[in-house]
Chains A and B, each alone.
Chain A
Amino acid sequence: MMLQIKPILSALRRHKAGAVLIALQTALTLAIVCNALFIIQQRVAHLSAPSGIDEANLLVIENNWASKLSKDDADAQQRADLIALRQLPGVHNAIASNSYPMRGGGWDQFITLTPDQTTAIGDPAVYLGDEHFLDTLGVKLIAGRNFRPDEIHPIANRENVMPPVTIVTKALADKLFPDGSALGKSIYAMSSTPTVIVGIVDVLQTQSLENWQMRNAYQSLIWPMRQVGDAYYILRAEPGQLAAVRQAAVKALYAQNRMRIINDDGVLDYAQIRQQAYDSDHGMAVLMGIICVVLLAITAAGIVGLTSFWVGQRRKQIGVRRALGATKRDILSYFLTENLLIGIAGVMIGACLAIGMNLWMVSHFEMARLSLMYVLAGIVLLLLLGQGAVLAPAVRASRVSPVEATRSV
């Protein structure tokens, strides 16, 4: 097989254009497929990040009051609502909060270790909740304790009260106190009042999934407060009861007080929340997948087309070679080797293009660096694709009979 390389190269010189076109197409396809596969992997990794909550049984209801209520009235209304919700059949627990994981944005708060520090060392998401928060969301407490009922305070919008105690996620605790001593320590929320960490929970995803928040992924803190006024009611249903709870909850809230606003799109379960949050990641992965498949198909088809043409053009030469004693295998391996040589030239250019394209995207779109594994996988994929595409025309070439040598075209 190796012996054929020299004659192949000199034959290639006779039809440079076709060879260059195939090499170029291979190179560009490699560049795009590598990057597309990499984007798919990144997006899939992003959208399968765990939330740490009992998604299957959670329901979020956005509740707004129609008229302006005093803090006391709003507090009383909310207490009544929560009692009604917790008593509904099929409801495991319910709370009122300012936000929920994957909401898309919300309250985040700079944190410092001393009161006079001006540069924050963390920007965690802030969740407000009472002693039912952990149980309602199904978040796992791994150290310390839950809030006590006497620590909970109602908070109206724009009230800026630093709670004396807080619960943090393990990710935040590790960031603030890498030596693992977070429990019982004080932190400051850019203020002079200290807040003591009384509990640490395992995983609780942040509200925003944007790039800027990804730097603080899973850094969340829970403050012992009930957001009164406009708030989100979060309900945890008993397993299998979510649909029934969904029906009953809104009805129960209107039965408490009609002067509220609950929009149709203000009632969401986590299948819907997840879908909204990761819509573009999911779509981007699908799009890149389609592009990869179509591109590979088009490249393969192009190789088949051009090689078929060459075989047709060279029937006579092939016949001569066969008449001179070349076996079918020789002819087959001639075309396979030819394709391999063009393919290797193509993937070498393509690897440079792929890395160049990725570097350009890194500098423009906050994307991660392409792992070389993707380039290697792409190279193998394209070389195999080329060999597969050339197989049919090459087999046809090997079937050319020696008699062709005597025939005019």
Chain B
Amino acid sequence: MFGYYVQLGVRSLGRNPWLTALMVMAIGFGVAASMITYSVFRAVSGNPIPEKSERLHVPQLDNWGPQHARSLGEPPEALTYTDSTALWKAHQARMQTIFYEVTLSVIPEHGGGSLPFNVSGYAATGDFFQMFDVPFLYGSGWSQADDEGHADVAVIGRSLNERLFQGANSVGREINMRGHSYRIVGVTDQWDPKPRYFDLFSMFTVNGMGDASEIYVPFSKAIDLKIDTGGRNSCGGASSLNAGWDGWLHGECVWISMWVQLDTPTETESYREYLRNYAAQMQQSGRFAWAPNIRLRNVTEWLDYEKVVPPESRISLIVALGFFAICLINTIGLLLAKFMRRAAEIGVRRALGASRREVYLQFLIEASTVGLAGGVLGVLLTTIGMFGVGLIFEPQIAKLAHLDASLVLLTIVVAMAATVLAAFYPTWKAAQVQPAWQLKSN
């Protein structure tokens, strides 16, 4: 019987071609709009490090005071050099890293025709690699001894390694950046988590998106070499008359990100306590004229606080869902029209002994063929729409949205499920047709 109903369903698609085409189009457009916006939303709101997102924390500290705060009562989003190095040296967390974005010019060794070029990355401390699960192709990160010894070491990314060394194992080779020579200790594999949760402070990683980082050097060495931040620097109006590099370094401008790994709630609590005590010390020493104001957010809380999901993405998702709802209401109406047009046919079938259940089954199957056709159109429109995503979102975000097998499947399933759901009321109405009444009125 099932096969027969499917056959009937397919045949009925052709019976009111206009009505059918309208429904298929409504479902197709509705599901495509939802899927396109959903794919972008999915790309920007994913959990970038699920196994650790509850354990990695950002310490924040109010060094500007209540009257300077840009956002009411919230401490700045990054730390000063003074605070970050003090917290790092205290080593109160299992693992911890401080870092800032750098852009360095690589000067190719072999002179001749090759021009210098810029690469971006981070001046970080050694725990960076292990904390954020950076995958290595060759070698590894550097040790805490290297951090403390201000070593001339560097880790480079896969594509820089290909550009400079044709992909060979370059561990132990030298790289000249901004006139200074570093020994390569590791080559990372392609690593570019989205969103770039660990560095949401930098201005040019728009909404936590940006190109993969290609270079890592020790924080201590970068400070020695007076390498300026390639990211954001915010002074929050803090008076910093002490000019020049040293004045800036020891002033109240924030530009350094810090992360600590705390594996248990107890560790988290004691770190929070430590942070509060640190701020209290600053208050006692007279540096802060206000009570401790600290935060310790984990990855999930941090992404939420930094509003990583762009408003465009949310607004369009909401509008698209509303759009889909309208398409479904439309489909309910059209299915109702389509089914009730066949009241006479239903009456005959019922009079010949078909049960209500049979009528239900037949019409729901018919609806799902409409849903399937809508889903196929939806996949087609989604594919076209993917090319248009770049119109609305920053290119860094747009390139994350792509059509994969799971999205195709989801499109079809959502289209069919929604259509069947929409078909319940019309089907119920169809099953209510009284055999006797229909026969009589004819």
Are A and B bound to each other?
yes
Q: Which of A193, A263, A302 has the most CB of B within 10 A?
A: A302
A157 touches B326 (CB 8 A): no
**B211-253, CB < 8 A from A:** 225-226, 228, 232, 236-245, 247-248
A29 at interface by CB-CB < 8 Å: yes
State whether A309 and B337 are in contact (beta carbons under 8 Å apart), knowing that A261-B117, A280-B393, A287-B316 are contacts in the complex.
Answer: yes
Chain A residues 345 to 396 lying within 8 A of chain B, measured CB to CB, are 357, 361, 364-366
CB-CB under 8 A for A291 and B323, given A66-B105, A283-B392, A306-B334? yes
Cβ of B198 < 8 Å from any Cβ of A? no
- The 0/1 profile, CB within 8 Å of A marked 1, for residues 321-343 of chain B is 01101110110111011001100
Confirm or deny: B22 has a beta carbon within 8 angstroms of a beta carbon on chain A. Answer: yes
Q: Which of A105, A159, A306, A309 contacts B243 (CB 8 A)?
A: A159
- Contact A298 to B322, CB < 8 A, known contacts A21-B336, A158-B245: no
**Residues in chain B near residue A119, CB distance under 8 A:** 67
Contact of A160 among B68, B248, B310, B312 (CB under 8 A): B248
B314 vs chain A, min Cβ distance (A): 7
- Contact B178 A28, beta carbon cutoff 8 Å: no
Taking the nearest CB of chain A, how far is it from the CB of B211, in angstroms? 11
Interface contact B241-A105, CB-CB below 8 Å: no
| Contact A280 B244, beta carbon cutoff 8 Å | no
B429: nearest chain-A partner, CB-CB: A17
A64 at interface by CB-CB < 8 Å: yes
Contacts of B325 in A (CB 8 A): 28
Contacts of A313 in B (CB 8 A): 340-341
List B contacts of A168 (CB < 8 A).
none
Q: Which of B243, B337, B392 contacts A284 (CB 8 A)?
A: B392
- Find chain A residues with CB under 8 A from B118 CB: 64, 261, 263
A11-52 to B contact mask, C-beta < 8 Å, 1/0: 000000110011011001101100110010000000000000
What chain A residues lie within 8 Å of B237 (beta carbons)?
110, 120, 190
Q: Which residues of B contact A357 (CB under 8 A)?
A: 322
Choose from A35, A158, A259 the contact partner of B116 (Cβ within 8 Å).
A259
Measured CB to CB, the closest approach of chain A to B82, in angstroms, equals 16
Q: When chains A and B are docked, how far (Å) is the Cα of A32 from the Cα of B329?
A: 14
Give the complex CA separation of A120 and B237 in angstroms.
8
Report the minimum CB–CB distance from B199 to chain A (whole Å): 15
A32 touching B238 in the complex, CB below 8 Å, given contacts A158-B248, A298-B330, A305-B333: no
B315 CB contacts on chain A under 8 angstroms: 39, 284, 361, 365
B19, A282: Cβ atoms closer than 8 Å: no
Are B311 and A366 neighbours in the complex by a CB distance under 8 Å? yes
Q: Which of B226, B311, B441 contacts A365 (CB 8 A)?
A: B311
A282 touching B391 in the complex, CB below 8 Å, given contacts A28-B325, A298-B29: yes
Contact B241 A160 (CB under 8 A): yes
Beyond A25-B329, A279-B395, A295-B323, 20 additional contacts (C-beta under 8 Å) are A18-B337, A28-B325, A28-B326, A29-B326, A67-B107, A160-B241, A190-B239, A258-B115, A259-B116, A263-B117, A280-B392, A283-B312, A286-B392, A298-B26, A298-B29, A298-B327, A309-B340, A313-B341, A364-B314, A408-B442
Query: A288 contacts B244, CB within 8 Å?
Result: no
List residues 223-260 of chain A with CB under 8 A from any CB of chain B: 258-260
A398 interfacial by beta-carbon distance below 8 Å: no
Q: Are A159 and B329 in contact (CB under 8 A)?
A: no
Give chain A residues whose Cβ lies under 8 Å from the Cβ of B236. 110
C-alpha gap A212/B178 in the complex (Å) = 35
Note all chain A residues with C-beta closer than 8 A to B388.
287
Residues of A contacting B395 in the complex (Cβ-Cβ under 8 angstroms): 279
Task: Kindly state the separation between the CA atoms of A96 and B179 in the bound complex, as whole angstroms.
Answer: 24
- How far, in Å, is B59 (CB) from chain A's closest CB? 24
Q: How far is the CB of A128 from chain B (nearest CB, A)?
A: 15
Chain A min CB distance to B7 (Å): 25
Would A287 and B392 count as touching, CB distance under 8 A?
A: yes
Q: Are A302 and B394 in contact (CB under 8 A)?
A: no
Q: Could you tell me if A160 and B247 are in contact, using CB atoms closer than 8 angstroms?
A: yes
A301 touches B26 (CB 8 A): yes
State the Cβ distance, A67 to closest chain B Cβ, in Å. Answer: 4
Number of A residues with CB within 8 Å of any CB on chain B? 67
Tell me if B425 counts as interface (CB < 8 A to partner A): yes
Residue on A with the closest CB to B249? A158
Contact A105 B203 (CB under 8 A): yes
Q: How far is the CB of A381 from chain B (nearest CB, A)?
A: 15
Assess whether B319 is interfacial by the CB under 8 Å rule. Answer: yes
Q: A291-B33, A302-B334 are in contact. Are A31 and B322 (CB under 8 A)?
A: yes
Q: Which residues of B contact A309 (CB under 8 A)?
A: 336-337, 340-341
Q: Does A161 contact B (CB under 8 A)?
A: yes
Q: By the criterion of a CB under 8 Å from any partner CB, how many residues of chain B are at the interface? A: 72
Does B243 lie within 8 Å of A160, measured CB to CB? yes
* Contact A287 B239, beta carbon cutoff 8 Å: no
Q: Are A22 and B333 interface neighbours, CB within 8 A?
A: yes
- Least CB distance from B80 to A in Å reads 14
Q: Does B243 contact A279, Cβ atoms closer than 8 Å?
A: no
Counting CB contacts under 8 A, is A191 at the interface?
yes
Q: How far is the CA of A119 from the CA of B442 in the complex (A)?
A: 85
Report the minimum CB–CB distance from A17 to chain B (whole Å).
6
Partner of A17, one of B33, B239, B247, B425: B425
Q: A384 to nearest B CB, angstroms?
A: 18
Say yes or no: A160 contacts B442, CB within 8 Å.
Answer: no
CB pair A158 B340 closer than 8 Å: no
Closest CB in chain B relative to A367 CB, distance in Å: 8
Q: Which residue of A lies closest to B248 (CB)?
A: A158
Q: Is the CB of B330 within 8 A of A302?
A: yes
Q: A190-B238, A280-B393 are in contact. Are A261 and B115 (CB under 8 A)?
A: yes
C-alpha gap A284/B25 in the complex (Å): 23
> In whole angstroms, what is the CA distance A259 to B118 when docked?
12
Shortest CB distance B399–A (Å)? 13
* Interface pairs (26), CB distance under 8 Å: A28-B326, A28-B329, A32-B319, A32-B323, A35-B319, A39-B315, A65-B105, A66-B105, A104-B203, A105-B203, A110-B237, A118-B67, A118-B68, A158-B245, A190-B239, A191-B241, A193-B241, A280-B393, A284-B312, A287-B391, A298-B26, A306-B336, A361-B315, A364-B314, A365-B311, A409-B344
Q: Is A6 an interface residue (CB 8 A)?
A: no
CA gap between A193 and B240 in the complex, in Å = 12
* B203 touching A66, Cβ below 8 Å: no
Whether, in the assembled complex, A148 has its beta carbon less than 8 Å from a beta carbon of chain B, the answer is no
Per-position binary interface string of chain A over residues 310-323, scored 1 when its CB falls under 8 Å from any chain B CB and 0 otherwise: 00110000000000
- Docked Cα-Cα span, A39 to B314, in Å, equals 14
Q: How far is the CA of A104 from the CA of B333 in the complex (A)?
A: 48
Partner of B333, one of A21, A29, A212: A21
Tell me the bound Cα distance from A29 to B323 in angstroms: 8
Give Cα distance in the complex from A120 to B69, angstroms. 11
CB-defined contacts of A157 to chain B, threshold 8 Å: 228
The reply to whether B29 and A294 form a contact with Cβ atoms under 8 Å apart is yes
Q: How close is A292's CB to chain B, nearest CB, in angstroms?
A: 10
In the complex the two chains form, what is the Cα distance from A4 to B388 in whole Å? 49
Q: A25 near B326 (CB under 8 angstroms)?
A: yes
